[in-house]
């Protein structure tokens, strides 16, 4: 098939590289010219395991192309819209990029093309885009479908190539058949391919992300209760997770959920529920718990160093919203760093993948360090904010020797309390009693 993907971000670039790998002829269009130029010479602008290799392979095979001009859409069998849908200030979903794409697509469509909304959009958006395109191109029969994406950053290529399910929302047999064809190899490999109404596909994406957010906020409250009552949240969640009805994923207590999807998608669900006059009390509570957690994490650091943070130096290890990605969007680590700086601490920070983008999102007084050891030298506390495996492998005796005060705050429960205290360090973590 001739596939066009609009947007060369985490979702669009992975979609383009993977569908080219499946043997389709793919062009990926982005309005960011620098991004397109870099991709044309095989430089991937985001970090995703396995993506560099797929992009280079796609370019070498002649099946993957990059463009900034919408002329490249002509003759496409499928056009995926995979641009961002961030939150507006009031939490509503900002659909301006999706609508801008529709406007650019309209003159370049032909009778045969199926337009597929892969961006996460509120119920009704795909139909709205279809109606808009139809009005703009009365000479054509416009075909639209919803195909929400469920990949996880840090495992995006794996998730696209081996998803738990593929969702095709379509009211038009041409659109549905085209997507069934495109995903045929996955279906043959046993992946459930669910064809449904457009509205169900759109809502399933929000419901899934909101459910994950609810799970995380619930576990974080259980962590607080564990800490207060003398229980150990690691044991509590292990016991919960072994129950097949609950499942063990998304039960890791931590500093709160972040990233470009969960916070905005919960907000999006709340707005959609309000629009339709339906209740969303549970999702709203999950967001509230998460918001209040930001301050709790700074309080935790303050308690661990034993007083106000003014004139302390804090080493933050990890800036990305989770390990395995370079994405800093809505990262709890960034919010924590902001709070620590506001409370008067001097902050030194390190991240294995997030450093290039960190400069533009952190307060200018934060010192970005080339390695963890530089960040730790002379600091009053080491705070693990992201669960990068390299931080689990730190030599704790060396850590103790470098720190000015022997204080470790582990917001990801990454370290073994016995090993930390064995190295002469005090240890505060999440949902477990502090250890010295």
CB atoms within 10 A of CB 397: 13
Interface region with ligand NAD, contact rule CB under 6 A, candidates 4-12, 178-186, 300-308, 395-403 = 4-12
Q: Does 216 bind ligand NAD (CB under 6 A)?
A: no
Structure tokens at 38: 């870099």
Residue with smaller CB distance to ligand NAD, 144 or 375? 144
Cα separations (Å) of 331 from 149, 262, 356, 375? 21, 11, 15, 19
Query: Cα–Cα distance between 318 and 315 in angstroms, integer?
Result: 10
* The one among 84, 255, 352, 372 contacting ligand NAD by CB under 6 A: 84
Enumerate the active-site residues: 261
Residue with smaller CB distance to ligand NAD, 93 or 399? 93
In sign, the C-alpha dihedral spanning 39, 45, 47, 48 is negative
204 and 167 in contact (C-beta within 8 Å)? yes
Residue with smaller CB distance to ligand NAD, 169 or 417? 169
Q: Does 326 bind ligand NAD (CB under 6 A)?
A: no
DSSP state, residue 93: B
Site for ligand NAD in 134-193 (CB under 6 A): 149, 151, 153
* The one among 3, 7, 76, 358 contacting ligand NAD by CB under 6 A: 7
Query: Following DSSP, what letter does each residue of 111-132 receive, concatenated?
Result: TT-EEEE-S---TTHHHHHHHH
Query: Cα–Cα distance between 145 and 196 in angstroms, integer?
Result: 10
Residue with smaller CB distance to ligand NAD, 84 or 256? 84
Shortest spacing between CB 106 and ligand NAD, in angstroms: 12
Shortest spacing between CB 260 and ligand NAD, in angstroms: 5
Q: Does 97 bind ligand NAD (CB under 6 A)?
A: yes
Query: Cα–Cα distance between 179 and 185 in angstroms, integer?
Result: 11
Residue with smaller CB distance to ligand NAD, 200 or 374? 200
Q: Does 83 bind ligand NAD (CB under 6 A)?
A: yes
* The one among 23, 34, 37, 100 contacting ligand NAD by CB under 6 A: 100
Interface region with ligand NAD, contact rule CB under 6 A, candidates 6-14, 299-307, 343-351, 352-360 = 6-14
Shortest spacing between CB 262 and ligand NAD, in angstroms: 10
Interface region with ligand NAD, contact rule CB under 6 A, candidates 82-90, 211-219, 222-230, 406-414 = 82-90
Query: Cα–Cα distance between 294 and 329 in angstroms, integer?
Result: 15
Site for ligand NAD in 24-53 (CB under 6 A): 29-32, 35
Q: Does 210 bind ligand NAD (CB under 6 A)?
A: no
CB atoms within 10 A of CB 138: 8
Q: Does 351 bind ligand NAD (CB under 6 A)?
A: no
Shortest spacing between CB 54 and ligand NAD, in angstroms: 15
Q: Does 357 bind ligand NAD (CB under 6 A)?
A: no
198 and 127 in contact (C-beta within 8 Å)? yes
412 and 427 in contact (C-beta within 8 Å)? no
Residue-wise over 281-314: b if at least 16 C-beta within 10 A, else e? eebbebbebbeebbeebbebbbebbeeebeebbb
DSSP strands (E only) in 159-206: 166-169, 193-196
* The one among 5, 12, 217, 226 contacting ligand NAD by CB under 6 A: 12
Element (DSSP H or E) covering residue 67: strand 64-67
Site for ligand NAD in 234-263 (CB under 6 A): 260-261
Residue with smaller CB distance to ligand NAD, 59 or 151? 151
Query: Cα–Cα distance between 176 and 254 in angstroms, integer?
Result: 40
Which residue is listed with tokens 């395109």? 133
Which residue has the CB atom at the shortest distance from ligand NAD?
A: 9
Shortest spacing between CB 435 and ligand NAD, in angstroms: 35
CA 287 to chain centre: 16
Interface region with ligand NAD, contact rule CB under 6 A, candidates 96-104, 242-250, 339-347, 413-421 = 96-104
* The one among 101, 114, 357, 430 contacting ligand NAD by CB under 6 A: 101
Interface with ligand NAD by CB under 6 A: which residues?
Answer: 6-12, 29-32, 35, 82-85, 97, 100-101, 119-120, 149, 151, 153, 260-261
């Amino acid at each position: 098939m001739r596939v066009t993907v609009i947007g060369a971000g985490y979702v669009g670039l992975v979609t383009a590289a993977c569908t080219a790998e499946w043997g389709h002829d793919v062009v990926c269009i982005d309005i960011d010219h620098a991004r397109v130029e870099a991709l044309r010479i095989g430089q991937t602008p985001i970090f995703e395991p396995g993506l560099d290799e797929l992009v280079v392979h796609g370019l070498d095979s002649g099946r993957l192309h990059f463009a900034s001009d919408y002329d490249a859409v002509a003759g496409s069998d499928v056009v995926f819209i995979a641009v961002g849908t961030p939150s507006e200030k009031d939490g509503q979903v900002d659909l301006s990029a999706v609508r801008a794409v529709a406007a650019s697509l309209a003159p370049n469509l032909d009778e045969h093309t199926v337009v597929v909304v892969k961006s996460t959009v509120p119920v009704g958006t795909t139909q709205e885009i279809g109606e808009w395109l139809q009005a703009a191109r009365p000479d054509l029969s416009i075909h639209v479908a919803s195909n929400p994406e469920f990949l996880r950053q840090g495992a995006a290529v794996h998730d696209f190539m081996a998803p738990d399910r593929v969702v095709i929302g379509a009211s038009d047999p041409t659109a549905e058949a085209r997507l069934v064809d495109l995903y045929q190899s996955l279906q043959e490999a046993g992946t459930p391919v669910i064809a449904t109404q457009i509205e169900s596909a759109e809502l399933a994406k929000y419901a899934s992300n909101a459910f994950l957010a609810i799970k995380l906020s619930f576990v974080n409250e259980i962590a607080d209760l564990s800490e207060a009552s003398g229980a150990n949240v690691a044991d509590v969640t292990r016991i919960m997770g072994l129950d097949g009805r609950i499942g063990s994923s998304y039960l890791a207590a931590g500093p709160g959920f972040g990233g470009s999807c969960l916070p905005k998608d919960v907000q999006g669900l709340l707005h959609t529920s309000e629009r339709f006059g339906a209740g969303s009390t549970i999702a709203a509570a999950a967001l509230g718990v998460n918001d209040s957690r930001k301050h709790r994490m700074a309080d935790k650091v303050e308690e661990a160093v034993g007083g106000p943070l003014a004139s302390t130096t804090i080493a933050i290890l990890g800036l990305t919203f989770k390990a395995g990605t370079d994405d800093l969007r809505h990262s709890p680590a960034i919010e924590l760093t902001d709070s620590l700086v506001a409370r008067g601490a001097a902050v030194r920070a390190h991240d294995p993948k997030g450093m290039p983008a960190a400069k533009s999102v952190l307060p200018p007084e934060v010192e970005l360090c080339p390695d963890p050891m530089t960040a730790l030298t002379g600091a009053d506390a080491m705070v693990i904010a992201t669960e990068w495996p390299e931080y689990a492998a730190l030599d704790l005796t060396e850590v103790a020797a470098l720190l000015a005060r022997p204080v470790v705050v582990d917001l990801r429960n990454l370290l073994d309390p016995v090993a930390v205290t064995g190295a002469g360090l005090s240890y505060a973590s999440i949902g477990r009693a502090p250890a010295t």
